Amino acid sequence: MERLVRHFAGLPRRLRATPPLESIGFIAGKQDRVRRIFSTYNFSFILSGRGYYMLNGIRHEACAPAVIIQWPGEPMDYAPEPGWDELYLIYPADAGEWLERTGLFRPDRFLWRIEKPAAITALVNEFYDLCLALNGTPYADQADLAAWNLVVESLLARPGDDSLPYREELRNVARRLRNFPENHYDFDDLAASLGMSRSNFRRYFKIYYQLPPCEYLQSCRIGRARRELVESSRSVGEIARRCGFDDPLYFSRRFRIECGMTPGEYRRRYRVFA
């Protein structure tokens, strides 16, 4: 596994046009799962491969080329499956206000597809060569600007921005699925109630949430089940029903696919009380 890491914290800057980078890293063939709470603001560019990103108990597919972010105080859980190439940018905690004020960093936009991969590949190669050339020199301004350009370019052609229609309507739908995953939903009826065609409903939901509505609901149900397993003493069958699964056997199969273990194994490993 190839790695490149460069640290810029504390190095002098001649300019203050962008937030100062703390460090950058490149990992080829990354396979490690990351489960931690960060104290920094990070952008992870997934350049090849695929994996997942869990947030608030919901699993999101991360398929290259894409970007995922991490921020202070939020439990993060993401991993390649089976591997990916990643370039990451790390900004210190005090850069957060700057990043959020400019709109480049928004926790509600935690994963996005890169729509111009050729442009990003060219910038990544330039950035990689720059970091090899810098190699500890005191001038970090070039790295700060290169990182800023990389993030901006990754967002410029993103189709899921606020200019697309139905954003607020589908945000309400997603909130409803998260809060009440045990309910049964007819998405065709739901689309009609919003004045949307069936195809537009699915198309825009996937743009905004990276998953079709049925898969998003499935992730919400599995996330609720994970919490129930470690926070309650209810039986697996009762938890399955409370999370919207009519068939406990199907629930167990889906849970194992999503979490890599049976509900009973998950409970024994993560149970918070005896």
Please give the pLDDT value at position 45.
94
Contact between 230 and 270 (Cβ < 8 Å): yes
- 79-111 pLDDT, tens per residue? 998 889 999 999 999 998 888 888 888 888 899
- Fold held by 167-270: Arc Repressor Mutant, subunit A (1.10.10)
Please give the pLDDT value at position 226.
80
Indicate the pLDDT class of residue 160, thresholds 50, 70 and 90.
Answer: very low
The candidate with the shortest Cα–Cα distance to 98, out of 37, 47, 140, 147, is: 147
| Mean pLDDT of all residues in 162-188 | 84
CA atoms of 244 and 120, how far apart (whole Å): 41
- 187-211 pLDDT, tens per residue? 999 999 999 999 999 988 887 776 7
- In the predicted structure, residue 265 carries a pLDDT above the cut 60: yes
Q: Outline which parts of the chain fall under CATH 1.10.10.60.
A: 167-270
- In the predicted structure, residue 224 carries a pLDDT above the cut 50: yes
SS (H, E, C) the chain: CEEEEEECCCCCCCCCCCCCCCEEEEEEEECCCEEEECCCEEEEEEEEEEEEEEECCEEEEEECCEEEEECCCCEEEEEEEEEEEEEEEEECHHHHHHHHHCCCCCCCCCEEECCCHHHHHHHHHHHHHHHHHHCCCCCCHHHHHHHHHHHHHHHHCCCCCCCCCCHHHHHHHHHHHHHCCCCCCCHHHHHHHCCCCHHHHHHHHHHHHCCCHHHHHHHHHHHHHHHHHHHCCCCHHHHHHHCCCCCHHHHHHHHHHHHCCCHHHHHHHHCCCC
- In the predicted structure, residue 163 carries a pLDDT above the cut 80: no
Q: Outline which parts of the chain fall under CATH 2.60.120.280.
A: 2-156
Distances (CA, A) of 166 to 170, 187, 209, 220, 238: 6, 15, 13, 21, 36
- In the predicted structure, residue 139 carries a pLDDT above the cut 70: no
Return left, alpha or beta for 42; rule: phi > 0 is left, psi -120 to 50 is alpha, else beta: beta
Contact between 261 and 253 (Cβ < 8 Å): no
- How many residues does the structure list for the chain? 274
- In the predicted structure, residue 225 carries a pLDDT above the cut 50: yes
Please give the pLDDT value at position 134.
57
Across 80-89, 136-145, 164-173, 264-273, least confident range: 136-145
Please give the pLDDT value at position 25.
87
Please give the pLDDT value at position 133.
61
Q: Does domain 2-156 have CATH number 2.60.120.280?
A: yes
- 243-255 pLDDT, tens per residue? 999 999 999 998 8
- In the predicted structure, residue 227 carries a pLDDT above the cut 80: no
CA atoms of 162 and 211, how far apart (whole Å): 18
Contact between 13 and 140 (Cβ < 8 Å): yes
What is the percent of the chain where pLDDT is above 70?
90
Please give the pLDDT value at position 274.
42
CA atoms of 78 and 66, how far apart (whole Å): 13
Please give the pLDDT value at position 219.
79
| Mean pLDDT of all residues in 130-152 | 73
Highest average pLDDT, of 73-87, 140-154, 259-273, comes from 73-87
